[in-house]
Every structure is written in C-alpha cells, then in structure tokens.
Copies of this chain bind each other. A is one copy, B any other.
Amino acid sequence: MTVRAAIEDLLSEYAEAIDDGALEQWPSFFTAGGEYQIITRESYEAGLPIGIMFCDSRGMMEDRVQALRTANIYEPHAYRHLLGRPGFRRDDDGYAVRSNFCVYRIAQDGDTVVFATGRYLDRIVEDGGALRFRSRRVVLDSRRVDILLVLPL
C-alpha cells in the first residue's frame, strides 16, 4: 500500500466511525498523547491559541465520549462527512497533511443541513504499526458555531 493510500484510509475510516455513531472508536485514531482541536479560521489565522474544543490526550477524548453517552443532553443527530483529496508532505516527524471537508448534519426529524466546512490540518505518525493522528486541527470556515457542536468532527 502506498503512503497516500494509507493516509486516505485513515482519514476516511475516521470519518466513517463518526458517521456510523461509533464514537468509542474516535480516540483510537490518535496517539496516546494526541491532540485534537476545533478552531475557527478567524482565530487560527489570528494565531489565537484557544479553540472551540481541545483535547490533549486519548484519555481526555475517552472522557468526552463517555460524557456524551451519559449526559445525552443534546438533540440526537448524525453527521455525514465528505472529504477532499488530501495534500501531504513527509518530514522527519511523520506527515503534515491537509484536506478539505464538508460535514452535513441530519437531525432526528430528517432535516439535513450543511453543518460545517473547512480544513483538517493533521500531523500523522506511525504508531505501533499503524498511522495515527498526533494532532488533528479542525479549522472551521465559519465563525458562527452552532450550539449543537458536541460530536467530534
């Protein structure tokens, strides 16, 4: 398998797990100390460190999933991801990868909207024989963040 195919598999399997509602799989796409951040393009380009969501370990992601499963205070909804072809370059520290995305949100009554568009900016490394995210930054195009943003993107 080529490096491109391995990276594309990781990106699409990540999206598939979330779209399928298999949230428990979400942390497993990261290294143990992996970082996950959702940030608006505006904050990102201004160099502001604080985003909308931040996790700095797999354990923190697992806590978040458990909270979502337990509290269950959000209106049930599902996502559907569409991903663009990733661009990437290899360096001494794995792969720097960027890709476009659009996420649709399907509410329980069936209403479907474009929920978010943007870019993934990823640092992908080999970890125990598989590719994983050491960091995944979700840069949202829109400054208007829906209050329902509770599932990872």
Contact = CB atoms under 8 A, between A and B. Distances in A.
Given A12-B87, A87-B12, A87-B16, A82 B110 contact: no
Given A80-B118, A112-B141, A104 B106 contact: no
Interface in A80-113: 80-85, 87, 98, 100, 102, 104, 106, 109-113
Interface in A1-48: 4-5, 8-9, 11-13, 15-16, 19, 41
Interface string A110-151: 111110111100000000000000000000011111000000
Given A85-B8, A114-B113, A78 B141 contact: yes
Contact of A80 (B5, B81, B141): B141
